[in-house]
A and B are shown apart, each in its own frame.
Chain A
Protein backbone atom coordinates (compact mmCIF):
# COMPACT_ATOMS: atom_id res chain seq x y z
CA UNK A 1 0.00 0.00 0.00
CA UNK A 2 1.79 3.11 -1.18
CA UNK A 3 -0.37 5.90 0.22
CA UNK A 4 -1.96 5.83 3.61
CA UNK A 5 -3.75 8.36 5.71
CA UNK A 6 -1.80 7.59 8.82
CA UNK A 7 1.68 6.38 9.57
CA UNK A 8 2.14 2.67 9.95
CA UNK A 9 3.79 3.14 13.31
CA UNK A 10 4.28 5.68 16.02
CA UNK A 11 7.40 6.93 14.31
CA UNK A 12 5.51 8.22 11.26
CA UNK A 13 4.68 11.79 10.29
CA UNK A 14 4.10 13.60 13.54
CA UNK A 15 2.10 16.44 12.02
CA UNK A 16 -0.77 14.16 11.03
CA UNK A 17 -0.84 12.62 14.47
CA UNK A 18 -0.94 16.06 16.02
CA UNK A 19 -3.72 17.15 13.68
CA UNK A 20 -5.67 13.99 14.51
CA UNK A 21 -5.15 14.49 18.25
CA UNK A 22 -6.44 18.07 17.97
CA UNK A 23 -9.43 16.92 15.96
CA UNK A 24 -10.30 14.21 18.49
CA UNK A 25 -9.95 16.62 21.39
CA UNK A 26 -12.19 19.18 19.73
CA UNK A 27 -14.84 16.60 18.79
CA UNK A 28 -14.89 14.98 22.22
CA UNK A 29 -14.61 18.05 24.38
CA UNK A 30 -11.35 16.83 25.89
CA UNK A 31 -8.67 19.29 26.96
CA UNK A 32 -6.12 17.25 25.02
CA UNK A 33 -5.72 13.83 23.42
CA UNK A 34 -2.51 11.89 23.38
CA UNK A 35 -2.27 9.32 20.63
CA UNK A 36 -0.33 6.18 21.39
CA UNK A 37 -0.09 3.15 19.18
CA UNK A 38 -1.45 3.30 15.61
CA UNK A 39 -1.66 0.22 13.41
CA UNK A 40 -3.38 -0.69 10.17
CA UNK A 41 -5.93 -3.40 10.89
CA UNK A 42 -6.30 -6.42 8.62
CA UNK A 43 -9.08 -6.69 6.05
CA UNK A 44 -10.75 -3.76 4.35
CA UNK A 45 -10.22 -4.25 0.63
CA UNK A 46 -11.75 -0.86 -0.11
CA UNK A 47 -11.46 1.11 3.13
CA UNK A 48 -8.63 1.39 5.58
CA UNK A 49 -9.23 0.72 9.26
CA UNK A 50 -6.64 1.94 11.75
CA UNK A 51 -6.50 0.78 15.33
CA UNK A 52 -5.64 3.71 17.58
CA UNK A 53 -4.92 3.78 21.29
CA UNK A 54 -5.57 7.26 22.61
CA UNK A 55 -5.66 8.91 26.01
CA UNK A 56 -8.36 11.58 26.46
CA UNK A 57 -7.72 14.29 29.02
CA UNK A 58 -11.21 15.29 30.15
CA UNK A 59 -14.56 15.15 28.41
CA UNK A 60 -16.99 12.21 28.26
CA UNK A 61 -14.28 9.86 26.97
CA UNK A 62 -11.75 10.80 29.62
CA UNK A 63 -9.09 8.16 30.02
CA UNK A 64 -7.55 5.55 27.73
CA UNK A 65 -9.64 4.54 24.72
CA UNK A 66 -9.25 1.88 22.06
CA UNK A 67 -10.58 3.28 18.79
CA UNK A 68 -10.83 2.51 15.11
CA UNK A 69 -10.37 5.21 12.51
CA UNK A 70 -11.92 4.41 9.14
CA UNK A 71 -11.02 6.23 5.93
CA UNK A 72 -10.92 5.61 2.19
CA UNK A 73 -8.35 3.22 0.83
CA UNK A 74 -6.41 3.72 -2.35
CA UNK A 75 -9.23 2.92 -4.73
CA UNK A 76 -12.93 2.72 -4.16
CA UNK A 77 -15.59 0.80 -6.05
CA UNK A 78 -18.79 2.25 -7.41
CA UNK A 79 -21.79 2.51 -5.08
CA UNK A 80 -19.70 2.86 -1.95
CA UNK A 81 -20.88 5.56 0.48
CA UNK A 82 -18.47 8.25 1.61
CA UNK A 83 -17.16 7.99 5.15
CA UNK A 84 -19.30 10.82 6.50
CA UNK A 85 -22.41 9.17 5.10
CA UNK A 86 -21.36 5.77 6.41
CA UNK A 87 -20.95 7.37 9.83
CA UNK A 88 -24.57 8.61 9.70
CA UNK A 89 -25.75 5.08 8.83
CA UNK A 90 -23.75 3.68 11.75
CA UNK A 91 -25.34 6.19 14.10
CA UNK A 92 -28.83 5.22 12.92
CA UNK A 93 -28.10 1.48 13.20
CA UNK A 94 -26.52 1.90 16.63
CA UNK A 95 -29.59 3.77 17.81
CA UNK A 96 -31.81 1.00 16.42
CA UNK A 97 -30.03 -1.52 18.63
CA UNK A 98 -27.89 -3.24 16.02
CA UNK A 99 -24.68 -4.65 17.46
CA UNK A 100 -21.84 -2.51 16.21
CA UNK A 101 -18.99 -0.42 17.61
CA UNK A 102 -20.30 2.88 18.91
CA UNK A 103 -19.69 5.57 16.28
CA UNK A 104 -18.03 8.54 17.97
CA UNK A 105 -16.87 11.29 15.62
CA UNK A 106 -16.71 12.07 11.93
CA UNK A 107 -14.41 14.57 10.30
CA UNK A 108 -14.97 15.89 6.78
CA UNK A 109 -12.10 18.38 6.96
CA UNK A 110 -9.38 17.23 4.53
CA UNK A 111 -6.94 19.40 6.44
CA UNK A 112 -6.66 16.80 9.19
CA UNK A 113 -5.69 13.60 7.37
CA UNK A 114 -6.10 14.51 3.73
CA UNK A 115 -9.43 12.72 3.45
CA UNK A 116 -12.63 12.33 5.44
CA UNK A 117 -12.69 9.79 8.23
CA UNK A 118 -14.70 8.69 11.20
CA UNK A 119 -13.82 7.21 14.53
CA UNK A 120 -15.61 4.48 16.43
CA UNK A 121 -14.90 2.38 19.45
CA UNK A 122 -12.80 -0.75 18.93
CA UNK A 123 -14.41 -4.00 19.99
CA UNK A 124 -12.81 -7.40 20.38
CA UNK A 125 -13.13 -10.30 18.01
CA UNK A 126 -12.31 -11.31 14.48
CA UNK A 127 -14.30 -11.16 11.26
CA UNK A 128 -12.10 -13.45 9.14
CA UNK A 129 -14.47 -15.72 7.22
CA UNK A 130 -12.69 -19.05 7.12
CA UNK A 131 -11.80 -19.23 10.80
CA UNK A 132 -15.47 -18.54 11.54
CA UNK A 133 -16.85 -21.20 9.21
CA UNK A 134 -14.18 -23.82 9.86
CA UNK A 135 -13.38 -23.48 13.58
CA UNK A 136 -14.65 -26.67 15.22
CA UNK A 137 -14.76 -24.91 18.60
CA UNK A 138 -17.67 -22.85 17.29
CA UNK A 139 -19.65 -25.95 16.35
CA UNK A 140 -22.18 -26.00 19.20
CA UNK A 141 -22.76 -22.25 18.99
CA UNK A 142 -23.40 -22.03 15.25
CA UNK A 143 -27.21 -22.16 15.26
CA UNK A 144 -27.33 -19.50 18.00
CA UNK A 145 -24.97 -17.26 16.02
CA UNK A 146 -27.10 -17.66 12.89
CA UNK A 147 -30.24 -16.91 14.86
CA UNK A 148 -28.63 -13.82 16.35
CA UNK A 149 -27.66 -12.63 12.88
CA UNK A 150 -31.28 -13.00 11.81
CA UNK A 151 -32.35 -10.86 14.75
CA UNK A 152 -29.71 -8.24 13.98
CA UNK A 153 -30.90 -8.02 10.40
CA UNK A 154 -34.51 -7.61 11.47
CA UNK A 155 -33.45 -4.89 13.88
CA UNK A 156 -31.61 -2.89 11.23
CA UNK A 157 -34.68 -3.17 9.01
CA UNK A 158 -36.68 -1.19 11.56
CA UNK A 159 -34.90 1.80 9.98
CA UNK A 160 -37.21 2.85 7.17
CA UNK A 161 -37.58 5.83 4.88
CA UNK A 162 -38.21 8.69 5.00
CA UNK A 163 -35.40 9.68 7.35
CA UNK A 164 -34.00 13.19 7.24
CA UNK A 165 -30.68 12.00 8.68
CA UNK A 166 -30.34 9.39 5.92
CA UNK A 167 -31.81 11.28 2.98
CA UNK A 168 -28.63 10.75 0.98
CA UNK A 169 -29.15 6.98 0.79
CA UNK A 170 -29.96 5.58 -2.63
CA UNK A 171 -33.18 3.66 -3.08
CA UNK A 172 -32.47 0.61 -5.20
CA UNK A 173 -34.94 -2.07 -6.20
CA UNK A 174 -34.67 -4.90 -8.73
CA UNK A 175 -35.20 -2.60 -11.71
CA UNK A 176 -32.36 -0.29 -10.67
CA UNK A 177 -30.05 -3.19 -9.80
CA UNK A 178 -30.65 -4.85 -13.15
CA UNK A 179 -30.10 -1.58 -15.02
CA UNK A 180 -26.85 -0.98 -13.12
CA UNK A 181 -25.54 -4.49 -13.81
CA UNK A 182 -26.37 -4.19 -17.51
CA UNK A 183 -24.71 -0.79 -17.74
CA UNK A 184 -21.61 -2.33 -16.22
CA UNK A 185 -21.69 -5.31 -18.61
CA UNK A 186 -22.11 -2.97 -21.56
CA UNK A 187 -18.82 -1.30 -20.66
CA UNK A 188 -16.98 -4.55 -20.02
CA UNK A 189 -14.87 -5.88 -22.89
CA UNK A 190 -15.88 -9.53 -22.43
CA UNK A 191 -19.50 -10.62 -23.01
CA UNK A 192 -20.98 -12.60 -20.09
CA UNK A 193 -23.84 -14.68 -21.53
CA UNK A 194 -24.65 -16.43 -18.25
CA UNK A 195 -25.05 -13.14 -16.43
CA UNK A 196 -27.21 -11.81 -19.28
CA UNK A 197 -29.38 -14.93 -19.13
CA UNK A 198 -29.81 -14.64 -15.37
CA UNK A 199 -30.51 -10.91 -15.61
CA UNK A 200 -33.26 -11.66 -18.10
CA UNK A 201 -34.72 -14.18 -15.64
CA UNK A 202 -34.56 -11.59 -12.86
CA UNK A 203 -36.20 -8.99 -15.06
CA UNK A 204 -39.11 -11.31 -15.80
CA UNK A 205 -39.47 -12.82 -12.31
CA UNK A 206 -39.13 -9.84 -9.96
CA UNK A 207 -41.55 -10.27 -7.04
CA UNK A 208 -44.02 -7.66 -5.90
CA UNK A 209 -42.04 -5.08 -3.93
CA UNK A 210 -42.31 -4.87 -0.15
CA UNK A 211 -42.02 -1.56 1.71
CA UNK A 212 -38.43 -0.31 1.67
CA UNK A 213 -36.10 -0.80 4.61
CA UNK A 214 -32.47 -0.06 5.33
CA UNK A 215 -30.37 -2.67 3.52
CA UNK A 216 -26.83 -3.22 4.72
CA UNK A 217 -25.91 -4.65 1.29
CA UNK A 218 -22.87 -6.49 2.57
CA UNK A 219 -24.40 -8.40 5.48
CA UNK A 220 -22.48 -11.68 5.35
CA UNK A 221 -19.82 -13.84 6.93
CA UNK A 222 -16.60 -11.84 6.86
CA UNK A 223 -18.44 -8.67 7.85
CA UNK A 224 -19.43 -9.52 11.39
CA UNK A 225 -17.07 -9.98 14.28
CA UNK A 226 -17.11 -12.82 16.73
CA UNK A 227 -15.27 -12.84 20.01
CA UNK A 228 -15.36 -16.54 20.68
CA UNK A 229 -18.98 -17.35 19.96
CA UNK A 230 -20.20 -13.88 20.90
CA UNK A 231 -21.26 -11.48 18.18
CA UNK A 232 -19.51 -8.18 18.82
CA UNK A 233 -20.08 -6.13 15.67
CA UNK A 234 -21.74 -5.89 12.28
CA UNK A 235 -19.15 -4.17 10.10
CA UNK A 236 -18.69 -2.40 6.77
CA UNK A 237 -21.80 -0.32 6.12
CA UNK A 238 -20.45 1.43 3.06
CA UNK A 239 -22.97 -0.10 0.62
CA UNK A 240 -26.06 0.65 2.72
CA UNK A 241 -29.20 2.00 1.07
CA UNK A 242 -32.97 1.64 0.92
CA UNK A 243 -34.26 -1.55 -0.62
CA UNK A 244 -36.17 -4.78 -0.31
CA UNK A 245 -36.11 -6.53 3.09
CA UNK A 246 -35.19 -9.85 1.44
CA UNK A 247 -32.13 -8.46 -0.30
CA UNK A 248 -29.83 -8.91 2.70
CA UNK A 249 -31.28 -12.39 3.36
CA UNK A 250 -30.31 -13.47 -0.15
CA UNK A 251 -26.88 -11.89 0.20
CA UNK A 252 -25.99 -13.71 3.42
CA UNK A 253 -27.16 -17.04 1.97
CA UNK A 254 -25.35 -16.52 -1.36
CA UNK A 255 -22.92 -19.35 -1.98
CA UNK A 256 -20.01 -16.94 -2.42
CA UNK A 257 -20.03 -16.18 1.31
CA UNK A 258 -19.84 -19.69 2.73
CA UNK A 259 -16.05 -19.80 3.06
CA UNK A 260 -15.40 -23.47 2.42
CA UNK A 261 -18.67 -24.75 3.93
CA UNK A 262 -20.98 -24.81 0.94
CA UNK A 263 -23.32 -27.16 2.80
CA UNK A 264 -24.16 -24.54 5.42
CA UNK A 265 -26.43 -22.28 3.48
CA UNK A 266 -26.64 -19.46 6.01
CA UNK A 267 -23.26 -17.84 5.48
CA UNK A 268 -21.28 -21.06 5.89
CA UNK A 269 -22.04 -21.17 9.60
CA UNK A 270 -25.40 -22.95 9.89
CA UNK A 271 -28.46 -24.19 8.09
CA UNK A 272 -30.94 -21.58 6.97
CA UNK A 273 -33.49 -22.55 9.62
CA UNK A 274 -31.94 -20.83 12.66
CA UNK A 275 -31.10 -17.73 10.65
CA UNK A 276 -34.63 -17.54 9.29
CA UNK A 277 -36.05 -18.26 12.75
CA UNK A 278 -34.14 -15.36 14.32
CA UNK A 279 -35.21 -13.02 11.55
CA UNK A 280 -38.85 -14.08 11.59
CA UNK A 281 -39.22 -13.91 15.35
CA UNK A 282 -37.67 -10.45 15.56
CA UNK A 283 -39.38 -8.99 12.49
CA UNK A 284 -42.71 -10.76 12.75
CA UNK A 285 -42.56 -11.39 9.00
CA UNK A 286 -42.52 -14.89 7.54
CA UNK A 287 -39.92 -15.41 4.83
CA UNK A 288 -41.10 -16.59 1.42
CA UNK A 289 -38.59 -19.06 -0.13
CA UNK A 290 -39.42 -17.88 -3.66
CA UNK A 291 -38.66 -14.28 -2.76
CA UNK A 292 -35.43 -15.35 -1.06
CA UNK A 293 -34.48 -17.33 -4.16
CA UNK A 294 -35.02 -14.24 -6.30
CA UNK A 295 -32.73 -12.23 -4.05
CA UNK A 296 -30.17 -15.02 -4.03
CA UNK A 297 -30.08 -14.83 -7.81
CA UNK A 298 -29.65 -11.08 -7.50
CA UNK A 299 -26.90 -11.66 -4.93
CA UNK A 300 -24.98 -13.88 -7.32
CA UNK A 301 -25.37 -11.33 -10.09
CA UNK A 302 -24.14 -8.58 -7.81
CA UNK A 303 -21.24 -10.63 -6.48
CA UNK A 304 -20.21 -11.45 -10.05
CA UNK A 305 -20.20 -7.76 -10.98
CA UNK A 306 -18.31 -6.82 -7.81
CA UNK A 307 -15.73 -9.53 -8.52
CA UNK A 308 -15.24 -8.16 -12.01
CA UNK A 309 -14.99 -4.63 -10.64
CA UNK A 310 -12.26 -5.78 -8.30
CA UNK A 311 -10.27 -7.05 -11.27
CA UNK A 312 -10.96 -3.74 -13.00
CA UNK A 313 -8.98 -2.07 -10.24
CA UNK A 314 -5.98 -3.86 -11.72
CA UNK A 315 -7.04 -3.93 -15.38
CA UNK A 316 -8.17 -0.30 -15.57
CA UNK A 317 -7.15 1.37 -12.33
CA UNK A 318 -3.57 0.16 -12.21
CA UNK A 319 -3.79 -1.27 -8.68
CA UNK A 320 -0.89 -3.76 -8.49
CA UNK A 321 -2.64 -6.19 -6.18
CA UNK A 322 -2.81 -9.90 -6.91
CA UNK A 323 -5.65 -10.28 -4.44
CA UNK A 324 -7.92 -7.83 -6.26
CA UNK A 325 -6.77 -8.89 -9.74
CA UNK A 326 -7.60 -12.54 -9.18
CA UNK A 327 -11.00 -11.83 -7.62
CA UNK A 328 -12.53 -11.30 -11.06
CA UNK A 329 -12.14 -15.01 -11.68
CA UNK A 330 -14.75 -15.62 -9.01
CA UNK A 331 -17.46 -14.24 -11.28
CA UNK A 332 -17.60 -17.65 -12.96
CA UNK A 333 -18.35 -19.28 -9.60
CA UNK A 334 -21.41 -17.03 -9.42
CA UNK A 335 -22.33 -18.04 -12.94
CA UNK A 336 -22.26 -21.71 -11.98
CA UNK A 337 -24.47 -20.98 -9.01
CA UNK A 338 -26.88 -19.02 -11.21
CA UNK A 339 -27.14 -21.99 -13.54
CA UNK A 340 -27.71 -24.31 -10.59
CA UNK A 341 -30.40 -22.05 -9.13
CA UNK A 342 -32.23 -21.40 -12.38
CA UNK A 343 -31.72 -24.70 -14.20
CA UNK A 344 -31.76 -27.44 -11.54
CA UNK A 345 -32.64 -30.07 -14.15
CA UNK A 346 -29.59 -29.07 -16.18
CA UNK A 347 -27.46 -29.23 -13.05
CA UNK A 348 -28.71 -32.72 -12.18
CA UNK A 349 -28.06 -33.87 -15.73
CA UNK A 350 -24.47 -32.65 -15.66
CA UNK A 351 -23.50 -33.45 -12.08
CA UNK A 352 -20.80 -36.11 -12.04
CA UNK A 353 -21.22 -36.49 -15.80
Chain B
Protein backbone atom coordinates (compact mmCIF):
# COMPACT_ATOMS: atom_id res chain seq x y z
CA UNK B 1 0.00 0.00 0.00
CA UNK B 2 2.87 2.33 0.72
CA UNK B 3 4.68 3.95 -2.19
CA UNK B 4 8.02 2.56 -3.27
CA UNK B 5 10.97 2.70 -2.82
CA UNK B 6 10.51 1.54 0.74
CA UNK B 7 11.79 3.68 3.59
CA UNK B 8 14.52 1.16 4.30
CA UNK B 9 15.86 1.46 0.73
CA UNK B 10 15.66 5.26 0.89
CA UNK B 11 17.59 5.25 4.13
CA UNK B 12 20.28 3.03 2.62
CA UNK B 13 20.62 5.34 -0.41
CA UNK B 14 20.68 8.44 1.77
CA UNK B 15 23.36 6.91 3.96
CA UNK B 16 25.51 6.07 0.97
CA UNK B 17 25.15 9.62 -0.30
CA UNK B 18 26.12 10.99 3.09
CA UNK B 19 29.17 8.79 3.61
CA UNK B 20 30.45 8.52 0.05
CA UNK B 21 29.79 11.98 -1.35
CA UNK B 22 29.06 14.50 1.40
CA UNK B 23 31.46 13.37 4.10
CA UNK B 24 34.60 14.07 2.03
CA UNK B 25 33.38 17.65 1.54
CA UNK B 26 32.99 18.37 5.25
CA UNK B 27 35.64 20.00 7.42
CA UNK B 28 37.34 17.45 9.71
CA UNK B 29 35.67 18.81 12.86
CA UNK B 30 32.23 17.89 11.46
CA UNK B 31 33.20 14.39 10.35
CA UNK B 32 32.06 12.83 13.64
CA UNK B 33 28.65 14.48 13.29
CA UNK B 34 28.24 13.01 9.82
CA UNK B 35 29.17 9.58 11.10
CA UNK B 36 26.66 9.91 13.95
CA UNK B 37 23.98 10.72 11.41
CA UNK B 38 25.00 7.69 9.34
CA UNK B 39 24.89 5.50 12.45
CA UNK B 40 21.43 6.77 13.36
CA UNK B 41 20.21 6.04 9.84
CA UNK B 42 21.67 2.55 9.97
CA UNK B 43 19.95 1.84 13.30
CA UNK B 44 16.65 3.09 11.90
CA UNK B 45 17.05 0.94 8.79
CA UNK B 46 17.84 -2.16 10.81
CA UNK B 47 14.91 -1.57 13.15
CA UNK B 48 12.59 -1.10 10.17
CA UNK B 49 13.61 -4.33 8.54
CA UNK B 50 14.30 -6.49 11.56
CA UNK B 51 12.38 -9.48 12.73
CA UNK B 52 10.02 -8.88 15.61
CA UNK B 53 12.39 -9.90 18.40
CA UNK B 54 10.51 -7.89 21.06
CA UNK B 55 7.55 -10.21 20.41
CA UNK B 56 9.88 -13.19 20.84
CA UNK B 57 11.06 -11.83 24.19
CA UNK B 58 7.46 -11.34 25.31
CA UNK B 59 6.69 -14.92 24.23
CA UNK B 60 9.68 -16.19 26.21
CA UNK B 61 8.53 -14.26 29.27
CA UNK B 62 4.99 -15.56 28.87
CA UNK B 63 6.41 -19.06 28.84
CA UNK B 64 8.77 -18.30 31.75
CA UNK B 65 5.97 -17.04 33.98
CA UNK B 66 3.20 -19.23 32.56
CA UNK B 67 0.95 -16.27 32.03
CA UNK B 68 0.20 -13.51 29.57
CA UNK B 69 0.82 -10.03 30.84
CA UNK B 70 1.91 -6.91 29.04
CA UNK B 71 4.28 -5.87 31.83
CA UNK B 72 6.23 -9.08 32.34
CA UNK B 73 9.54 -7.42 31.46
CA UNK B 74 9.13 -5.12 34.47
CA UNK B 75 8.25 -8.07 36.68
CA UNK B 76 11.27 -9.94 35.34
CA UNK B 77 13.52 -7.00 36.18
CA UNK B 78 12.06 -6.76 39.68
CA UNK B 79 12.51 -10.49 40.27
CA UNK B 80 16.14 -10.26 39.18
CA UNK B 81 16.69 -7.37 41.56
CA UNK B 82 15.21 -9.28 44.47
CA UNK B 83 17.00 -12.54 43.73
CA UNK B 84 13.65 -14.24 43.33
CA UNK B 85 14.95 -16.42 40.49
CA UNK B 86 18.00 -17.69 42.36
CA UNK B 87 16.23 -20.42 44.27
CA UNK B 88 16.12 -22.82 41.33
CA UNK B 89 19.12 -23.46 39.04
CA UNK B 90 16.90 -24.28 36.08
CA UNK B 91 14.89 -21.10 36.60
CA UNK B 92 18.07 -19.09 36.90
CA UNK B 93 19.41 -20.68 33.72
CA UNK B 94 16.21 -19.89 31.84
CA UNK B 95 16.30 -16.29 33.09
CA UNK B 96 19.89 -15.94 31.95
CA UNK B 97 18.98 -17.23 28.48
CA UNK B 98 16.39 -14.46 28.20
CA UNK B 99 18.96 -11.86 29.26
CA UNK B 100 21.36 -13.06 26.57
CA UNK B 101 18.65 -13.12 23.91
CA UNK B 102 17.46 -9.62 24.83
CA UNK B 103 20.97 -8.17 24.75
CA UNK B 104 22.12 -9.85 21.55
CA UNK B 105 18.98 -8.88 19.66
CA UNK B 106 19.24 -5.26 20.81
CA UNK B 107 22.83 -5.08 19.64
CA UNK B 108 22.05 -6.72 16.31
CA UNK B 109 19.97 -3.62 15.64
CA UNK B 110 21.87 -1.03 17.59
CA UNK B 111 25.52 -1.97 17.19
CA UNK B 112 26.21 -5.18 15.25
CA UNK B 113 29.89 -4.26 14.90
CA UNK B 114 30.32 -4.31 18.66
CA UNK B 115 28.59 -7.66 18.83
CA UNK B 116 30.87 -9.10 16.15
CA UNK B 117 33.96 -7.61 17.78
CA UNK B 118 33.05 -9.55 20.92
CA UNK B 119 32.74 -12.83 19.06
CA UNK B 120 28.98 -13.03 18.51
CA UNK B 121 27.05 -13.33 15.28
CA UNK B 122 25.92 -9.87 14.22
CA UNK B 123 22.94 -11.15 12.23
CA UNK B 124 20.28 -13.60 13.29
CA UNK B 125 20.91 -17.10 12.03
CA UNK B 126 20.16 -20.64 12.86
CA UNK B 127 22.33 -20.40 15.98
CA UNK B 128 21.18 -19.79 19.50
Which chain A residue lies CB-closest to B104? A350
Contact, CB under 8 Å: A346 / B96:
yes
Contact, CB under 8 Å: B114 / A333:
yes
Q: How many residues of A contact B (CB 8 A)?
A: 33
Contact indicator per residue, chain B 7-41, by CB within 8 Å of chain A (1) or not (0)? 00000000000000000000001001100110110
Which chain B residue lies CB-closest to A343? B96
| A326-B40 in contact given A336-B114, A351-B119 (Cβ < 8 Å) | yes
Contact, CB under 8 Å: B103 / A200:
no
Contact, CB under 8 Å: B76 / A191:
yes
B78 within 8 A of A: yes
Which chain A residue lies CB-closest to B114? A333
| A339-B76 in contact given A322-B40, A329-B43, A333-B114 (Cβ < 8 Å) | no
B115 within 8 A of A: yes
B83 within 8 A of A: yes
Contact, CB under 8 Å: A194 / B102:
yes
Choose one: B103, B111, B118, B127; the contact of A329 (CB below 8 Å): B111
Nearest-neighbour CB distance to chain B for A193, whole angstroms, equals 4
Contact, CB under 8 Å: A262 / B117:
yes
Q: For residue A353, which residues in chain B have a CB less than 8 angstroms away from its CB?
A: 120-121, 127-128
Which of A199, A262, A335 has the most C-beta atoms of chain B within 10 angstroms of its own C-beta? Answer: A335
Contact, CB under 8 Å: B39 / A326:
yes
Nearest-neighbour CB distance to chain B for A307, whole angstroms, equals 11
A286 within 8 A of B: no
Contact, CB under 8 Å: A193 / B121:
no
Q: For residue B115, which residues in chain A have a CB less than 8 angstroms away from its CB?
A: 336
Bound Cα distance from A204 to B81, whole angstroms: 11
Q: How many residues of B contact A (CB 8 A)?
A: 39
Taking chain B's interface residues, is the majority helix, strand, or loop, or is none over half, making it mixed? helix
Within 8 A of A (CB), among B55-108: 73-74, 76-78, 80-83, 95-100, 102-104, 106-107
Contact, CB under 8 Å: B120 / A351:
yes
Contact, CB under 8 Å: B111 / A197:
no
Nearest-neighbour CB distance to chain B for A18, whole angstroms, equals 30
Contact, CB under 8 Å: B103 / A349:
no
Contact, CB under 8 Å: B76 / A326:
no
Contact, CB under 8 Å: A340 / B118:
yes
Which chain A residue lies CB-closest to B29? A42
Within 8 A of B (CB), among A80-97: none
Which of A204, A329, A349 has the most C-beta atoms of chain B within 10 angstroms of its own C-beta? Answer: A329
Which chain A residue lies CB-closest to B106? A332
| A191-B74 in contact given A196-B81, A336-B114 (Cβ < 8 Å) | yes
Choose one: A199, A200, A322, A352; the contact of B120 (CB below 8 Å): A352
Bound Cα distance from A200 to B83, whole angstroms: 7
Contact, CB under 8 Å: B74 / A332:
no
Q: For residue A180, which residues in chain B have a CB less than 8 angstroms away from its CB?
A: none
A182 within 8 A of B: yes
Contact, CB under 8 Å: B40 / A193:
no
Contact, CB under 8 Å: B36 / A197:
no
Bound Cα distance from A191 to B29, whole angstroms: 37
Bound Cα distance from A185 to B80, whole angstroms: 13
Choose one: A336, A351, A352; the contact of B107 (CB below 8 Å): A336
Nearest-neighbour CB distance to chain A for B68, whole angstroms, equals 17
Contact, CB under 8 Å: A349 / B114:
no
- Per CB-CB distance, the 3 closest pairs between chain A and chain B, nearest first, are A353-B127, A191-B77, A351-B119
- Can you list 10 A-B pairs, Cβ within 8 angstroms, ordered by A? A194-B99, A196-B78, A197-B99, A322-B33, A332-B103, A333-B107, A335-B103, A350-B120, A350-B128, A352-B119
